[in-house]
């Protein structure tokens, strides 16, 4: 007998990023500028801490929200970066992925609407749909990837429950300016919304003037969840370690989901996470900043227009005017030029492609040479 599975999952495609990476893998010699995964290995002192933890017998269930030493260290770390959260306002999670899933599952009833500014990382939509919520896209592409009062007023409705904001942004690399943050705060107050701040790229910023929502709008803290991760700044994607911060009443709801989803994160990784918080990530950040400058210069040389990427490790140039859609552009870039990017459609925005520059300098140069030839061939 065929039984129906969760209807919320119907029509959810597998990740477009993975799809185009798989296509590139079938093409020998293709340079992949698709994944948001640092090419660096995790710094050695962080790795060494795991052996110590195992030798000390940290093989049992840890406390659900995280070990006290890690919660203390996270609270102090957030304080050094402008956010004030007590250890008991934090939950250590299996990556930002689980933090986002637990948060959205804790907030959303069937039929509730969640505003997702697009272009956006695809995870938000998948989780909201899986819990029978409704995603309402807020298209920022004609507004320099920023949010305004007018754009928000156009999408808030009776059932709007939350908005997810991502700064620095995946896929655009843009950071939200003060106008955007203030517009979100006004909507949060006027309409009574939860704000989920996906801040996983907050340490990878290359321009002055970056502000985090929770730092600029502490008055909204009762309704705000901050999500962060070890994955990107410390090159720890494979560890699956992140955390979330929220005021006690809100955190109490999210931590229930966390308990039922994963119970806790592996005990023997948590000391290593403390070590990570004391590790200097500046050399990796500087490398990305240098590559960001190089990418902007090269894309400028191809006459592709680009909203200035001030953070993360992505550029999101427009391919408008080249006469083809982003899916066709990326398929042909792989087969005709041997370079892989991700179509804007995978992030809800046609007319753009995402390029990741968290690859080696050599790959980046070859990939951009090939992209340049491909763009020139389309223009001629």
Ligand X SMILES: Cc1ncc(COP(=O)(O)O)c(C=O)c1O
Residues lying near ligand X in the complex (CB under 6 A): 36, 95-97, 121, 166, 170, 198, 200, 229, 231, 237, 242
User: Cβ 324 to ligand X, closest distance in Å?
Assistant: 26
Residue closer to ligand X (CB basis): 345 or 373: 345
Q: Is residue 174 within 8 Å of 210, Cβ to Cβ?
A: no
The radius of gyration of the chain from alpha carbons, rounded to an integer in Å, stands at: 21
In terms of Cα–Cα distance, which of 206, 192, 226, 171 is closest to 311? 206
Residue closer to ligand X (CB basis): 175 or 337: 175
Q: Which residue is nearest to ligand X (CB)?
A: 95
User: Cβ 36 to ligand X, closest distance in Å?
Assistant: 4
User: Cβ 150 to ligand X, closest distance in Å?
Assistant: 25
Residue closer to ligand X (CB basis): 337 or 356: 356
Burial of 269-299, coded b for 16+ CB within 10 Å and e otherwise, reads bbbbbbbbbeeebeebbebbbebbeebbebb
Residue closer to ligand X (CB basis): 36 or 66: 36
User: Cβ 28 to ligand X, closest distance in Å?
Assistant: 27
Which segments within 112-179 are labelled E, that is strand?
A: 113-118, 134-139, 160-166
User: Cβ 329 to ligand X, closest distance in Å?
Assistant: 22
Q: Which helix (H) or strand (E) holds 196?
A: strand 194-198
CA torsion, ordered 244, 248, 252, 254, to nearest 10 deg = -30
**Nearest-angstrom CA–CA distance, 357 and 284:** 12
Q: Is residue 67 within 8 Å of 243, Cβ to Cβ?
A: no
Tokens in use for 277?
């918080």
CA distances to 20, 73, 302, 351 from 297, rounded to whole Å, are: 25, 39, 9, 20
**Nearest-angstrom CA–CA distance, 205 and 190:** 31
Residue closer to ligand X (CB basis): 187 or 200: 200
Residue closer to ligand X (CB basis): 118 or 337: 118
Question: Residue 340 pairs with which residues in a beta bridge?
Answer: 32
**Nearest-angstrom CA–CA distance, 301 and 290:** 17
User: Cβ 100 to ligand X, closest distance in Å?
Assistant: 6
User: Cβ 248 to ligand X, closest distance in Å?
Assistant: 24
Q: Is residue 274 within 8 Å of 73, Cβ to Cβ?
A: yes
User: Cβ 243 to ligand X, closest distance in Å?
Assistant: 9
Residue closer to ligand X (CB basis): 129 or 370: 129
Most distant pair of Cα atoms in the chain: their distance: 65
User: Cβ 96 to ligand X, closest distance in Å?
Assistant: 3
Residue closer to ligand X (CB basis): 35 or 330: 35
């Amino acid at each position: 007998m065929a039984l129906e599975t969760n209807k919320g999952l119907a029509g959810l495609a597998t990740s477009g990023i993975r799809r185009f990476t798989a296509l590139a893998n079938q093409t020998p010699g293709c340079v992949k500028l698709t994944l948001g995964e640092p090419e660096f290995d995790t710094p050695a002192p962080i790795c060494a801490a795991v052996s110590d933890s195992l030798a000390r017998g940290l093989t049992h269930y840890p406390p659900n929200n995280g070990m006290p030493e890690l919660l203390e260290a996270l609270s102090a770390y957030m304080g050094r970066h402008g956010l004030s959260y007590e250890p008991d306002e934090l939950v250590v999670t299996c990556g930002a992925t689980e933090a986002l899933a637990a948060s959205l599952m804790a907030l959303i009833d069937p039929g509730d609407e969640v505003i997702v500014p697009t272009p956006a990382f695809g995870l938000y939509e998948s989780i909201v749909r899986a819990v029978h919520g409704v995603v309402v896209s807020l298209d920022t592409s004609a507004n320099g990837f920023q949010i305004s009062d007018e754009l928000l007023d156009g999408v808030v409705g009776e059932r709007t429950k939350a908005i997810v904001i991502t700064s620095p942004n995946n896929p655009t690399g843009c950071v939200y300016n003060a106008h955007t943050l203030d517009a979100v705060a006004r909507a949060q107050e006027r309409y009574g919304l939860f704000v989920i701040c996906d801040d996983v790229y907050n340490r990878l910023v290359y321009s002055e003037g970056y502000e985090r929502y929770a730092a600029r709008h502490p008055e909204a803290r009762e309704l705000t969840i901050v999500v962060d991760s070890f994955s990107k700044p410390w090159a720890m994607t494979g560890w699956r370690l992140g955390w979330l911060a929220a005021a006690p009443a809100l955190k109490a709801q999210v931590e229930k989901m966390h308990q039922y989803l994963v119970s806790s994160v592996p005990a023997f990784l948590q000391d290593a996470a403390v070590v990570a918080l004391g590790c200097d990530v500046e050399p990796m950040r500087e490398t990305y900043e240098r590559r960001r400058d190089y990418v902007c210069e090269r894309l400028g040389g191809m006459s592709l227009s680009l909203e200035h990427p001030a953070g993360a490790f992505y550029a999101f140039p427009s391919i408008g005017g080249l006469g083809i859609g982003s899916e066709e552009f990326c398929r042909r870039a792989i087969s005709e030029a041997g370079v892989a990017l991700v179509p804007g459609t995978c992030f809800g925005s046609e007319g753009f492609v995402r390029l990741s520059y968290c690859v080696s300098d050599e790959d980046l140069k070859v990939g951009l040479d090939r992209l340049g030839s491909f763009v020139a061939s389309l223009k001629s």
